[in-house]
């Protein structure tokens, strides 16, 4: 059987700045309480109904999905889902009654019994908000043929958190913004975005830290705007940020200080015997910066994208099929990094 390429092993539009696009739809079944108030039996019924609605549908999509009860996963497998941005950290904190439906290429996933009964998530490489939104709508329509979603004529789709009322849609793009961080522009940008109904979050979403210069730019308003309007607004602002980051990179690329940081990062990545996860992400940020400005050559973006997922702590252990202490992980991470980065030319 041929290996199926994962979505993160590819590059898309504006990939020098945009690592990925995500569109998520929150939905609830009308006849059940929200997950926070549902019994174990009710959660089982909800999961069974959602699974049946997708896997028994007439869509060709049904054949590409796997159903994973979270209680059946090891700790490493569950945390790896977070590292690959497939689920939220909160989703795996208590795995009872929870499950996920996931496509073979990991671009489509449905979290069952998270904050809402189901959350449809589409992940795409590069800037692809329109395409991701269209796919989310297709899945939503397919499930809506057999599931009775909680909907109000005034408030739209009903969700456990009032901030998701209306479309129930959250769209975001993962932006790599090292130059805007270096020139101190991020505070100004963040303040301006809040006035436009958008927000900048950490690498793994709300309440998380920024790692390796990666920010999530997402919409805040779900009530009073259509999905199309929300996507168009986010796309317009993302495009402005992309151009601002590119201008800043061009201005800074002649700096001997920056060139030194990039060359040092490349040297470490090509020769390190030990690499922690945080150090890897910080060095990777400089590598991406160097490749996008022509300071470095020899490695393709998709190779770095794949590597960045593969070397995360839990993902390393899940792939190896065993627990590893930090030292073992740091050694393996450095080995995998050297294999890819040996091709870098300065």
Residue 24, annotated as binding a ligand: yes
Q: How much is the pLDDT for 207?
A: 65
Q: How much is the pLDDT for 223?
A: 67
Q: How much is the pLDDT for 230?
A: 87
Q: How much is the pLDDT for 132?
A: 96
Residue owning tokens 């294999």:
339
Residue 40, annotated as binding a ligand: no
Where does the chain show beta strands of DSSP type E?
18-27, 65-69, 99-103, 108-112, 118-125, 151-152, 156-157, 169-176, 198-201, 214-219
Residue 338, annotated as binding a ligand: no
Find all residues with CB under 8 Å of 334, minimum gap 6, and list them: 272, 273, 274, 275
Length of the chain: 346
Tokens for 106, please give them. 């990991």
Q: What is the CATH number of domain 7-247?
A: 3.30.590.10
Q: Which long-range contacts (CB under 8 A, 24 or more apart) does 317-321 make?
A: 317/76, 317/80, 318/74, 318/76, 318/77, 318/80
Residue 21, annotated as binding a ligand: yes
Mean pLDDT of each 10-residue bin along the chain, 346 residues long: 84 95 96 94 96 78 85 95 90 92 95 96 96 94 93 91 89 95 89 83 73 89 78 93 96 94 96 96 96 94 94 95 96 97 90
Residue 264, annotated as binding a ligand: no
Residue 204, annotated as binding a ligand: yes
Residue 205, annotated as binding a ligand: yes
Residue 186, annotated as binding a ligand: no
Residue 298, annotated as binding a ligand: no
Cβ(269)–Cβ(344) under 8 Å? Answer: yes
Residue 119, annotated as binding a ligand: yes
For 180, other C-beta atoms within 10 Å of its C-beta total 22
Q: How much is the pLDDT for 299?
A: 94
Residue 171, annotated as binding a ligand: yes
Q: How much is the pLDDT for 206?
A: 67
C-alpha 313/C-alpha 219 separation (Å) is 30
Residue 208, annotated as binding a ligand: no
Residue owning tokens 């499930």:
143
C-alpha 302/C-alpha 93 separation (Å) is 31
C-alpha 169/C-alpha 157 separation (Å) is 10
C-alpha 284/C-alpha 269 separation (Å) is 8
* DSSP secondary structure of 28-88: -BTTS--GGG--HHHHHHHHHHHHHHHHTSSSGGGGGEEEEEGGGS-HHHHHHHHHTTSS-
What residues does CATH 3.30.590.10 cover in the chain? 7-247
Closest CA to 138 of 127, 122, 155: 122
Residue 173, annotated as binding a ligand: yes
Residue 203, annotated as binding a ligand: yes
C-alpha 216/C-alpha 183 separation (Å) is 19
């Amino acid at each position: 059987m041929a290996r199926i390429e994962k979505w993160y092993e590819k590059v898309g539009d504006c990939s020098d700045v945009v690592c990925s696009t995500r569109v998520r739809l929150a939905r609830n079944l009308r006849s059940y309480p929200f997950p926070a108030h549902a019994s174990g039996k009710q959660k089982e019924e909800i999961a069974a109904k959602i699974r049946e609605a997708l896997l028994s549908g007439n869509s060709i999509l049904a054949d590409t999905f796997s159903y994973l009860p979270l209680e059946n996963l090891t700790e490493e497998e569950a945390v790896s889902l977070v590292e690959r941005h497939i689920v939220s950290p909160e989703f795996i904190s208590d795995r009872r009654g929870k499950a996920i439906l996931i496509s073979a290429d990991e671009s489509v996933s449905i979290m069952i019994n998270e904050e809402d009964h189901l959350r449809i998530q589409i992940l795409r490489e590069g800037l692809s908000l329109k395409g991701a939104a269209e796919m989310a709508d297709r899945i939503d329509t397919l499930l809506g043929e057999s599931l009775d979603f909680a909907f109000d004529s005034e408030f739209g789709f009903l969700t456990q958190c009032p901030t998701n009322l209306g479309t129930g849609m959250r769209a975001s793009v993962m932006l790599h913004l090292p130059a805007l961080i270096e020139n101190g522009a991020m505070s100004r940008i963040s303040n301006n975005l809040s006035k436009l109904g958008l927000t900048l979050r950490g690498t793994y979403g709300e309440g998380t830290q920024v790692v390796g210069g990666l920010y999530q730019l997402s919409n805040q308003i779900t009530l009073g705007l259509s999905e199309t309007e929300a996507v168009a607004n986010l796309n317009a602002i993302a495009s402005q940020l992309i151009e601002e980051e590119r201008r800043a990179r061009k201005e800074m690329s002649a700096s001997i200080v920056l060139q030194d940081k990039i060359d040092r990062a490349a040297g470490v990545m090509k020769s390190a015997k030990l690499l922690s996860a945080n150090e890897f992400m910080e060095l990777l940020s400089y590598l991406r910066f160097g490749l996008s400005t022509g300071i470095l050559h020899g490695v393709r973006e998709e190779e770095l994208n794949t590597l960045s997922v593969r070397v995360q702590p839990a993902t390393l252990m899940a792939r190896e099929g065993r627990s590893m202490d930090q030292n073992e992980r740091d050694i393996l991470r450095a080995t995998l990094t050297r294999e890819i980065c040996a091709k870098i030319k300065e």
